[in-house]
Amino acid sequence: MERLRRLLEEYRKGNVGIDEVMSFLKELPYENLSFARIDHHRALRRGFPEVIYGEGKKAEHLRAIVESMARRGSNVLITRLDRQNAEILNHAFPEARYHADARVWILQNSEIPSIPNGYIAVLTGGTLDIPVAEEAALTAELMGSQVRRFYDVGVAGLHRLLDIREEVCGASAWVVVAGMEGALPSVVAGLVEGPVVAVPTSVGYGSHFNGIAPLLAMLTTCVPGIVVVNIDNGFGGGYVASVIHRRIALGRGWEDGERRFQTRWERSRSDLEARSCQRSSEDEGTATSEETPR
C-alpha cells in the first residue's frame, strides 16, 4: 500500500508515466502463480498484506511467493516456518530475520507506520507459552503496534501479576497466552478495562488434551470482554489485538460506529415518517369514500 501511495504521488508530480502506474495496478487484485494466487489488494482492504502460513509448504513455493510480494514492496510475514526452510529463504533474502522460537520469518520491504498512541500487553501463564506469545507480539509489531511483554505471570503465583498491574492495565488491548487450565485470561479480564484476546496453548498434561481444556475454559469464562482464538494461534491473537489497537488509537472505532448508527437511525426515522404519512393519506381516502352519498 505504501508503494502504491508513493507511485501515485510521483505520477502526480510528473516523475512517473501512466504506463508504469498501469503496470502496477494490473496485478493489484491478485497475481496468479499457478500454485498460489497472491492477494496484493489485501493491504488496501485490510491495512496489512497477506500473511503466509509456512508449515508444510515447499521451499520453492515460499520463495516465489516472497519474491512476488517483495516486488510489490509488501512486508512479508511467514508463520510456522521450520528452520530448514528459513535458512533457504535467508540465503535468498539476507536482509530478512528468522525468529526461531516463534517460528516467524519477517522481511521488511517498506516502512511500518507506527500506531501513535498506546500499546498492547502480551502476557503468558508460563515460560513454555512464550513461543506462541512471541508469534503474537511479532505480528502486532509488524502491524505497527508497540508491544510490552509480561511473561510467566500465571495464576499459580498471582502476586507476580499484581506487581505489574499498573503497567498491564495501561495497555489499549491485551493478548493473554496460557496452557494448563487456561485461567489467566479470565483473571486479566477481571482487572482491565478493555478487550482481552485469549490464546490457549497445547502446553499441559494428560486431560489437558493438547489445548482443548484451556480452549473450553476460556470459551466458558464468566468474565465479559474476552475473545478466544484457536489453540497455539499466536498470530491470530496478535492480529486481532493490533486491529483493535489501531481503531482505538486513531479514534475511528467509536466515531465511525456512531456515525453509522446516526445514519441508520435517521434513515429509519425518515422511513417511518414516510409510512406514517402514507397511512394517513390512505385513512383519509377511506374516510372520504365512506362519507360519500350513494
- Write down the pLDDT at residue 188: 97
Nearest to 208 by CA among 270, 128, 104: 128
- Write down the pLDDT at residue 61: 97
Cell numbers placing 68: 512476488
- Write down the pLDDT at residue 60: 96
Domain residue spans of the chain: 2-107, 120-249
Query: What is the rounded CA–CA span in Å between residue 14 and residue 172?
Result: 42
Q: Provide the whole-model pTM.
A: 0.78
- Write down the pLDDT at residue 37: 87
- Write down the pLDDT at residue 111: 85
- Per-residue CA distances from 166 to 74, 143, 163, 242 (Å): 37, 25, 8, 21
Cell numbers placing 153: 505471570
- Write down the pLDDT at residue 254: 47
Looking at the domain that runs over 120-249, which CATH code has it been given?
3.40.50.1970
Residue given cell 482492504 in the structure block: 45
- Chunked in runs of 10, what are the mean pLDDT values of the chain (294 residues)? 70 77 67 85 82 96 95 92 97 96 95 90 98 98 96 96 96 97 97 96 94 97 96 98 91 54 55 62 57 51
- Strand 120-124 and strand 173-178: the pairing is parallel
Query: What is the rounded CA–CA span in Å between residue 280 and residue 262?
Result: 27
- Write down the pLDDT at residue 29: 76
- Write down the pLDDT at residue 268: 56
